[in-house]
């Protein structure tokens, strides 16, 4: 549904939900997740507790809203910039932004909170998600002959790479952000891509 086709009530509902999310993010930047209550969130967003439960069941669900924000960022901001001449360069650009989003655009407390084994959002539907952007990049490489899937589809390659890079991000969180995530992600992504890269094509290293 386009913005033009949405009713005033739908737009107000979306804004209220966004206000709740922004309030929760602001609070997380100020103190630990455990000390934040639903009442804190609704008071910051200037809505009632009843309104909160119209949108979310728990306070953790509010923070999971960040995945909608991330998917929008990658489909609307990152994908239009994927104009590099090779698939490998486009994939590296994608992962550069993934690291930037996880370490800079998202508060580190938020990243640590999200990288939990109980988080169902990692396995959310891929339609219009950031993973879909990576799938399209890799499909272009398979179609052009730059990549050899060795029987794997673009979706399978993308899922494998995302599991690997998310594992790296989890390690970064558990080590207290002890290293540069962008540099480590680039190192990992280059080596993961080599498993599918046709030997005659260079990576620019």
Average pLDDT on 75-86 reads: 95
Is residue 179 over pLDDT 90?
yes
Is residue 73 over pLDDT 50?
yes
Distance, CA of 86 to CA of 137 (rounded, Å): 9
Average pLDDT on 1-28 reads: 80
CA angle 163, 164, 166 (to 5 degrees): 65
- Exposure pattern of 146-185 as b/e (b: 16+ CB <10 Å)? bbeeeebebeebbbebbeebeebbbebbeeeeeeebbebb
User: How many CB atoms are located within 10 Å of the residue 130 CB?
Assistant: 23
C-alpha 174: how far from chain center: 18
List pLDDT tens digits, range 130-165.
999 999 999 999 999 999 999 999 999 999 999 999
Distance, CA of 52 to CA of 43 (rounded, Å): 10
CA angle 66, 71, 75 (to 5 degrees): 150
Residue 39 banded pLDDT, cuts 50, 70, 90? very high
Is residue 44 over pLDDT 90?
yes
More confident residue, 1 or 148: 148
pLDDT of residue 125: 66
More confident residue, 63 or 158: 158
Percent of the chain with pLDDT over 70: 92
Helices (H), the chain: 8-30, 38-45, 49-55, 59-64, 66-73, 87-100, 108-114, 130-144, 154-174, 181-194
Q: Is 197 helix (H, G, I), strand (E, B) or coil?
A: strand
pLDDT of residue 111: 86
Mean pLDDT of the chain: 88
pLDDT of residue 112: 84
Distance, CA of 203 to CA of 184 (rounded, Å): 16
pLDDT of residue 4: 56
pLDDT of residue 150: 94
More confident residue, 140 or 63: 140
List pLDDT tens digits, range 81-133.
999 999 999 999 999 999 999 988 787 888 888 887 777 777 766 677 899 99
* Neighbouring C-alpha atoms within 13 Å toward the C-beta of 163: 7
- Angle at which helix 8-30 crosses helix 38-45, to 10 degrees, equals 120
């Amino acid at each position: 549904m386009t913005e033009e086709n949405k009713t005033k009530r739908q737009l107000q509902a979306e804004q209220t939900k966004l206000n709740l999310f922004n309030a929760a993010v602001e609070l997380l930047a100020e103190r630990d997740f455990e000390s934040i209550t639903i009442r804190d969130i609704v008071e910051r967003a200037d809505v009632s507790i009843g309104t909160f439960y119209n949108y979310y069941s728990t306070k953790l669900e509010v923070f999971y809203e960040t995945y909608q924000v991330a998917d929008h960022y990658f489909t609307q901001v990152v994908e239009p910039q994927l104009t590099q001449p090779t698939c490998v360069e486009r994939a590296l650009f994608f992962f550069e932004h993934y690291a930037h989003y996880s370490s800079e655009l998202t508060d580190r407390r938020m990243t640590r909170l999200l990288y939990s084994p109980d988080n169902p959002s990692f396995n959310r539907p891929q339609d219009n998600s950031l993973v879909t952007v990576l799938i399209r990049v890799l499909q272009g490489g398979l179609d052009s002959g730059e990549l050899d899937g060795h029987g794997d589809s673009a979706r399978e390659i993308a899922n494998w790479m995302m599991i690997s890079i998310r594992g790296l991000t989890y390690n970064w969180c558990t080590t207290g952000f002890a290293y540069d995530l962008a540099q480590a992600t680039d190192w990992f992504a280059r080596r993961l891509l080599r498993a599918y890269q046709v030997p005659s094509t260079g990576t620019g290293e």
